[in-house]
């Protein structure tokens, strides 16, 4: 846009100044500018959104790495014994209640509720306490009040209802009988539950792990099902009643947590490394099972 003044000679030979004229943007030019901005925004915004999600995924994997470190430190303090995924502890009134691994690892996790969450998950959030969405999963005995927003990190009969964005590996949790000997075979999941409290899985030691780089300890999401509405912090195999068999696949049991990051999810392994995997690429077959203490737990005899 320019401004220009001119001088005009009158009939008697005198000169007088003419008011400067202004050339403005036309409507078409303005529309072109607006359209250009809109096109640039449509190009850049998806990239910005992808970058933000990438950042959330990285933070999610970092949380899992810290949880793997917390579990390792716990084992060092308890004579090589892995932490229970669930146990009975006394609540603030001295009454025994069933609680979860999050309370058991609370001190080892720096007493940070957000360490058990994934920033990409907006519903299953441990740091928001027992929320309305948690209670809405069904079976919750009473309506949560405003003081329930901080129900995390300590034993309570309702702590198990607090969903979290990161789940502990608990596939193959039901012991089965060996067809040949009719003996009860111990559950092969890494984090068991103490028999001293009436559970039948028992606890395990890190020395029982046959392949630390191929044993999943933690992962995005929980059970993702209404079958156990208060267990949305525990990755378990629940499809077709084959809780201890090969072929476990989170996609097949419609576990939404395994698709959190563009149809993939983060997983923390027993050796401390993190992988982002499609659930279909996680092996659980006659050769290897990444959910079992014994990587060859499903190999046929003589394999």
User: Which of the residue ranges 134-143, 183-192, 220-229 has the most confident prediction, judged by mean pLDDT?
Assistant: 134-143
**pLDDT: is 65 or 32 the higher one?**
65
pLDDT at 87: 96
User: Which of the residue ranges 24-33, 172-181, 204-213, 226-235 has the most confident prediction, judged by mean pLDDT?
Assistant: 204-213
Q: Answer whether residue 25 shows pLDDT above 80.
A: no
Beta bridge mates, 220: 166
Nearest to 82 by CA among 232, 230, 189: 189
Q: Answer whether residue 164 shows pLDDT above 80.
A: yes
- Residue 108 tokens, joined: 């080892």
H or E segment and range at residue 225: none
Q: Which residue's structure tokens are 């059970």? A: 223
Instruction: Look over the chain and give the mean of its residue pLDDT values, rounded to a whole number.
Output: 84
- Residue 144 tokens, joined: 């949560």
Q: Answer whether residue 83 shows pLDDT above 70.
A: yes
Nearest to 221 by CA among 99, 123, 152: 123
CB-based contact 82:204 (threshold 8 Å)? yes
State the average pLDDT over residues 31-47.
76
CB-CB neighbours of 300 under 10 Å: 8
Predicted model pTM? 0.81
State the average pLDDT over residues 194-219.
93
- Residue 222 tokens, joined: 């929980």
**How far is residue 78's CA from residue 207's CA, in Å, rounded to a whole number?**
13
**How far is residue 298's CA from residue 293's CA, in Å, rounded to a whole number?**
11
State percent of the chain over pLDDT 90. 51
Q: Answer whether residue 242 shows pLDDT above 90.
A: no
- Sequence-distant (6+) residues with CB within 8 A of 174 are 187, 243, 244
pLDDT at 241: 47
Residue 14, classed as helix, strand or coil, is coil
**How far is residue 87's CA from residue 193's CA, in Å, rounded to a whole number?**
6
């Amino acid at each position: 846009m320019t401004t220009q003044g001119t001088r005009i000679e009158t009939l008697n030979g005198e000169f007088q100044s003419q008011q400067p004229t202004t050339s403005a943007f036309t409507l078409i030019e303005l529309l072109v500018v607006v359209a250009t901005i809109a096109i640039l925004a449509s190009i850049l915004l998806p990239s910005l959104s992808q970058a933000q999600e990438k950042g959330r995924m990285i933070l999610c994997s970092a949380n899992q790495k810290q949880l793997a470190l917390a579990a390792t430190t716990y084992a060092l303090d308890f004579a090589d014994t892995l932490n229970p995924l669930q146990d009975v502890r006394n609540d603030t009134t001295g009454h025994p209640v069933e609680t979860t691994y999050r309370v058991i690892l609370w001190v080892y996790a720096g007493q940070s509720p957000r360490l058990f969450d994934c920033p990409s998950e907006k519903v299953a959030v441990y740091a928001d306490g027992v929320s309305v969405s948690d209670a809405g999963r069904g079976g919750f005995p009473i309506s949560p009040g405003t003081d329930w927003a901080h129900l995390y990190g300590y034993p309570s009969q309702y702590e198990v209802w607090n969903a979290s964005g990161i789940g502990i590996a608990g596939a193959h949790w039901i012991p089965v009988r060996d067809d040949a000997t009719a003996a009860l075979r111990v559950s092969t999941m890494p984090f068991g539950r103490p028999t001293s409290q009436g559970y039948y899985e028992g606890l395990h030691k890190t020395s029982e792990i046959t392949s630390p780089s191929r044993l999943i300890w933690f992962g995005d999401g929980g059970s993702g099902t209404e079958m156990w509405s208060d267990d949305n912090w525990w990755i378990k195999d629940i499809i077709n009643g084959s809780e201890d068999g090969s072929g476990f696949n989170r996609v097949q049991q419609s576990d939404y947590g395994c698709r959190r990051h563009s149809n993939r999810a983060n997983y923390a392994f027993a050796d401390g490394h993190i992988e982002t995997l499609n659930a279909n690429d996680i092996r659980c077959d006659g050769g290897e099972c990444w959910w079992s203490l014994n990587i060859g737990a499903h190999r046929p005899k003589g394999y």
